[in-house]
Amino acid sequence: MSKLTIVGLVSCLASGIILVFETISTVMESSAPSITNEKTAWKKLTLADSIGQEYFEWINTISLASIQSIADYIVNMPLFILLFCIGILCFLIKAFTSKM
């Protein structure tokens, strides 16, 4: 098994684990009695939430607006989707670079 395959498997597994824990967290919060009458929304864990928004301030200094918006989108997308996409990307790279 190559390194790309292992990274892809670990990334997809981590994505699944994060999704399960976020689902459990959402279900537990919606079933618990709430002092306020607000509905519990799906909490999404992002890369910026995990590491810290202050570490991604360099994105605002990118001069090209399209690259800046792409980087901002990647940093603020749900972490389980980001990890799943990284896993799929690793599998695709391995498939196209493997010797026939």
What digits encode the pLDDT tens for the residues 2-23? 899 999 999 999 999 999 998 8
* C-alpha to C-alpha distance for 43 and 23, rounded to whole angstroms: 9
Look up residue 63 and give its DSSP letter: S
Cα 39-40-42 angle, rounded to 5 deg: 135
CB 15 within 8 A of CB 97: no
What digits encode the pLDDT tens for the residues 27-83? 887 666 655 545 545 567 889 988 988 999 999 999 999 999 999 999 999 999 999
* Banded pLDDT at 1 (limits 50, 70, 90): confident
Domain ranges of the chain: 3-34+44-97
